[in-house]
Amino acid sequence: MRISNRKRVMVTGGAGFLGSHLCERLINEGCDVLCVDNFYSGTKDNIAHLVSNPYFEMIRHDVTFPLYVEVDEIYNLACPASPIHYQRDPVQTTKTSVHGAINMLGLAKRVKAKILQASTSEVYGDPEIHPQTEDYWGHVNPIGIRACYDEGKRCAETLFFDYYRQHNVEIKVVRIFNTYGPRMHPNDGRVVSNFIVQALSGKDITIYGGGTQTRSFCYVDDLIDGFIKMMGSNEEVTGPINMGNPAEFTIKQLAEIIIEMSGSKSKLVFMPLPQDDPKQRQPDITYANQTLSWIPQVKLEQGLAKTIDYFRKFLLL
């Protein structure tokens, strides 16, 4: 017999950029939160402010191994998400997505928990349609240097829907587009953190390719709102569902905005484009809007101001 009425929620990858924001939000909503992380790309600094809370618990654990706990909901965010981190150990990256999905789905099946998979826009690869809708199957190089992440996440989605069909596990699959905000790793190679750190340090801003490739940037608070709404949706709403900000910018535009907002004198330097780097990336969020009444609220300049302020303080430490 349970004494507490608090919802027991597990977040894998809970010490990462997105995971730490999600843990904080769940604590604030009155949940009993179990944060699981092996600290491959996450850091204790991201969750240090939560450790003293009696309703927050941390376990150092790798999701490629089974975990036996009692929870009501699972957010499966475990997997390095930046190219620098996931290409450092590509075999482990694939294992984290595939074995991790099997282990977390097995747990969800055993305890009858709802489970949300943090999938990615990378399942679309270098897309041939624009913007990307959920019914697009993607254009992915299965043997390229990004495949460990792209195909790992695609296989995880397969496993989620097979567990749903075969074992009646209640699943939620969210495809995340570029997200940014405080607690991003300063050296993760992602474009927003790269540009901000370079601008604040007075270094040249490195743009790969001609800077004409596009991205859509979603502020972290908006994405976490989407996660919470998706987890709370009807059982029939499985996804996959796109979550991102549909406002589209070129990489060169982003660099120029960051230089202006940070007051930097950095110059733009152009380098060769990495293999399989997508030329366009923009979510069609019609389904999320219709199903969850979700639409991002934070404009790029608003979110960048908070992110620049975070990195300015971080670099002074």
Q: What residues form DSSP beta bridges with 268?
A: 205
Helix (H) or strand (E) holding 114, with range, is strand 114-120
Can you point out the beta strands (E) in 29-148? 32-37, 56-60, 73-76, 114-120
Beta strands 179-180; 114-120: pairing state? unpaired
Q: Which residue has the tokens 């927003």?
A: 192
Tell me if 203 sits within 8 A of 137, measured CB to CB. Answer: no
What is the DSSP-derived secondary structure letter of residue 9? Answer: E
On whether the CB atoms of residues 140 and 125 are closer than 8 A, the answer is yes
Distance of alpha carbon 212 from alpha carbon 295, whole angstroms:
26
Which stretch of DSSP H or E encloses residue 302? Answer: helix 300-316
Helix (H) or strand (E) holding 248: strand 248-250
Query: Beta strand 205-208 with 179-180: parallel, antiparallel or unpaired?
Result: unpaired
Q: What is the spatial distance between Cα 281 and Cα 286, in angstroms, rounded to a whole number?
A: 16
CA atoms of 274 and 269, how far apart (whole Å)? 15
Give per-residue burial for 84-111: e unless 16+ CB within 10 Å, then b: ebbbeeeebbbbbbbbbbbbbbbbbeeb
* Active site residue ranges: 149
| Pairing status of strand 8-12 against strand 32-37 | parallel
- Cβ atoms of 237 and 35 within 8 Å: the answer is no
Token pair for 235:
């059982």
